[in-house]
Structure 1
């Protein structure tokens, strides 16, 4: 029996601000700029949630024409998705590049948005960097924090009677038993972060080697 193909997700619905040219230019008024950061942060979280993007590459800029306001980066997701496919660079590029307007958010402004999210616990530079604009080129985007992923995993363990059961980390995110669970297809590193919170709370134990790690829930 052939399995049905994975349905194509609906296109992402950008907010109306995305279609205003000033949205891509850093506002000089502090109050207006803060409101701009809030809207960009919300957009990044919503976009990454929609496409199940866990990491964003902030560098790797594509060539751009010279302009006073629109030198920008191409953000390439480096993540596992629910259907095990990675969006093309075109898909990720549209987040910070509105081609219809011919406007891009500058790399410096992209980093400022990530830093804004970081202060709210919704982003983190890969490698643990926690300060400044030189903390790295790739950032976690936590549309669900590791603690929130841990809560989902713990709820699934309770609902399915998995306490005392040993599962490999691969089974947890790629196995048939978790298909349909929101954490199915979770980035392996983010899974480790989530499980780490359960270990600290003595709700789980991780053992084995990196390529064959298992977890037991209590």
Structure 2
């Protein structure tokens, strides 16, 4: 894995403090949100805990600067509003983060199913997320919990049916 290329803002100490001026704060939030998505994609990581104090995304060791939990919440709540994150617990400590929205993942998977002629076939989540047929697709190596959430969107639209199997989930796709 190649080293991650941090943006210049990450090396700028004020970037780690939520700015009081609304326009500046909005721009800062946008840059942080993009950074969250790019960095987590780089790591192939779909879950974060706001208490991971040494996580490089939250802590720049070279500057000895750290995002406050309030700032992390602010960024994650922005990602939630844009469809890129959801809290996993009531205290909002654990978060699931999506590089694409669940709707986008759902459409990618359904398009791939149609392209590969798998309509009316049953696939396991493993086949979709990690199978050799999905290599090169944006959803390849997706976290199965995220995939399941995306499939629920398709299920609500009548485009698939998710079924519980002995060792996980399967899904049958429709036109």
Cα distance in 1, alignment partners of residues 106 and 7 from structure 2: 30
Question: Could you say if the C-alpha distance between residues 139 and 210 of structure 1 is closer, same or farther in structure 2, counting changes exceeding 3 Å?
Answer: farther
For structure 1, list consecutive stretches of 5 or more residues without a partner in the other structure: 1-7, 61-72, 75-92, 130-134
In the aligned structure 1, how far is the partner of 2:166 from the partner of 2:151? 14
Q: How many Å separate the matches in 2 of 1:175 and 1:32?
A: 44
Counterpart of 1:104 in structure 2 is 66
In the TM superposition, 1:46-195 aligns within 5 A as 46-60=38-52, 73-74=53-54, 93-127=55-89, 135-195=91-151
Structure holding more strand per residue: 2
SS in 1 for 2:57: helix
CA distance in structure 2 between the aligned counterparts of 1:140 and 1:212, rounded to whole angstroms? 20
Shift of 1:209: 3.3
What is the CA-CA distance between 1:217 and the residue it aligns to? 1.0
Residue 40 (1) aligns with residue 32 (2): yes
Where do 5+ consecutive residues of structure 2 fail to align?
none
Q: Take 2:43 and 2:7, find their aligned partners in 1: how far apart are those partners?
A: 16
- State the secondary structure of the residue aligned to 1:162: coil
Report the Cα distance in structure 2 between the residues aligned to 1:28 and 1:210, rounded to whole angstroms: 53
Per-residue displacement from partner, 1:100-150 (whole Å, max 9, x unpaired)? 1111111221111111222222221014x5xxxxx4211121221111111
Give the whole-Å Cα distance in 2 for the aligned partners of 1:119 and 1:212: 30
SS at match of 2:37: helix
**Do the aligned partners of residues 167 and 58 (structure 1) sit closer, same or farther apart at CA in structure 2, a change above 3 Å counting?**
same
* TM-score when normalising by structure 1: 0.73
